């Protein structure tokens, strides 16, 4: 009977230690990760160049004949 109780006590201790370890690792990860969003005041690093088109239309002048 004592052996069974010692086994259960050891298993409970193992679960407790594993839980505390998991919480510690989670806390360390949360502290080490910087998950803030980037500032919106930054200039964009990509510029888009849009080509311009100039249309040349010939003009025609009609003169009256005398």
- Asked if residue 26 has pLDDT above 90, the reply is yes
% of the chain with per-residue pLDDT over 70? 80
Q: Is the pTM of this model over 0.75?
A: no
DSSP per residue over the chain, as a string?
Answer: -HHHHHHHHHHHHHHHHHHHHHHHHHHHHHHH---PPPPTTSPPS---PPP---------------
pLDDT tens readout for residues 30-58: 888 876 665 566 666 777 788 888 888 88
């Amino acid at each position: 009977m004592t052996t069974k109780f010692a086994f259960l006590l050891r298993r409970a201790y193992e679960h407790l230690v594993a839980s505390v370890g998991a919480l510690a690792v989670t806390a360390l990860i949360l502290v080490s990760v910087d998950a803030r969003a980037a500032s919106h005041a930054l200039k964009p690093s990509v510029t888009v160049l849009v080509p311009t088109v100039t249309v040349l239309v010939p003009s025609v002048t009609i003169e009256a004949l005398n």
